[in-house]
Amino acid sequence: MPLSEHEQKMLDEMERQLFADDPHLARAFAPTKNSRRSGRRVIIGLGGVLVCLGVLVLAVSLPAVWLGVIAFLGMLAGAVYAVTTPNSSSQEGPDDGGGGTGPSAPRDDNGGTFMRKLEQRWEKRSGDDPRR
DSSP string for residues in 7-41: HHHHHHHHHHHHHHH-HHHHHHHSPPS-HHHHHHH
At 100 the three-state DSSP class reads coil
pTM above 0.75, yes or no: no
- Listed by start position, the domains of the chain span 38-85
Tens place of pLDDT per residue across the chain (132 aa)? 777 888 888 888 888 888 888 877 777 777 666 556 678 888 999 999 999 999 999 998 988 899 999 999 999 999 999 888 776 544 444 444 444 444 454 555 545 688 888 888 888 887 755 555
